Amino acid sequence: MGFCKNRLYYISSRLKCSPDMLRETVAKRTFVYNLPFDWLESSLNVLLDMGVSSERILRDLWVLKYHPKTIHERLQKVKSLGVETVYPWMVKSFLDFLISEGFTIEDIARRPRVLTASQKTVKQRLEKLRSLGLKEINLNTVSRSRKDFKKYFASLESVSIQN
C-alpha cells in the first residue's frame, strides 16, 4: 500500500486532495487520528464505492466514525428507495427519524426526494407545518427548495390566519 498507515496522506490520496488542505480539515476533527487504520480504510472504501463524492466526505468527516457495515447498510437502504446521489449525512439515522415522525417506509419510498434534504431542515419544516395544525404532511412539501417552501408556508399561514 505504501502509506505506512499515515492517515493524513492515506485520506488525501483516497479523496484526491492535497495533504495541506486535509491537514486544516483534520485539525478540527482530531478523532480521525484515533480511529483504527483498517476501520478508516474500510469506511472510506464503502463511502467511495457507494458513490459519495470526495468533496462531500471532506465536508463531513464525522461519517468516518460510523462502522463500515452501518455506513453500507444505511446508504444501501437509501439507494434502494431510488435515491441516486448519496450524502454522508444520510448515514445518520435519517430513515429512523422520518419513521419516528410518523412516516412509513412506503411514504419515504414514494417520495425519496425527502432524503436529499438534511434532517435538520426536514425537522424544522415539519415543526413549522405542525404549528399551523397540519396533521397529514406530504414529504414532497418538506423537500421543496427554500424559496418554494417559504412561499408554500406563507400561503398556508395566511389561510390559517383568515380562519
The set of cell numbers assigned to 65 is 466514525
pLDDT of residue 118: 83
pLDDT at 112: 80
**Mean pLDDT computed over 8-27:** 91
Rounded distance, CA 154 to CA 32, Å?
Answer: 44
pLDDT for the residue numbered 163:
60
Contacts of range 9-14, beta carbons closer than 8 Å, 24 or more positions apart: 10/37, 10/40, 10/41, 11/40, 11/44, 14/44, 14/48, 14/54
> Shortest CA distance to 82 belongs to which of 45, 48, 115?
115
Give the pLDDT band (50/70/90) at residue 66: very high
Label residue 1 by pLDDT band (50, 70, 90). very low
Q: How far is Cα 154 from Cα 20, in angstroms, rounded to an integer?
A: 46
Q: Residue 149 corresponds to which cell in the numbers above?
A: 417552501
How distant, in Å, are the alpha carbons of 133, 135, 144 from that of 149? 17, 17, 5
Q: State the number of CA atoms in the 13 A half-sphere of 52 facing the CB.
A: 30
Q: Does residue 32 contact residue 26 with C-beta atoms inside 8 Å? A: yes
Direct distance between the N- and C-terminal alpha carbons of the chain, in angstroms, rounded to an integer: 68
The model's pTM is: 0.71
Position 3 pLDDT exceeds 60: no
Q: Look-up: residue for cell 492517515? A: 7
Q: What mean pLDDT comes out for the span 71-87?
A: 88
Within 10 angstroms of residue 60's Cβ, the number of other Cβ atoms is 17
The string of pLDDT tens digits covering residues 97-127 is 898 999 987 888 788 888 888 889 999 999 9
As a whole number, the mean pLDDT across the chain is 88
Residue 78 pLDDT: 85
More confident residue, 40 or 1: 40
Cell of 75: 446508504
Judge contact between 78 and 70, C-beta under 8 A.
no
How far apart, in whole angstroms, are the C-alpha atoms of residue 150 and residue 163?
A: 20
5 pLDDT band (50/70/90 cuts)? Answer: low
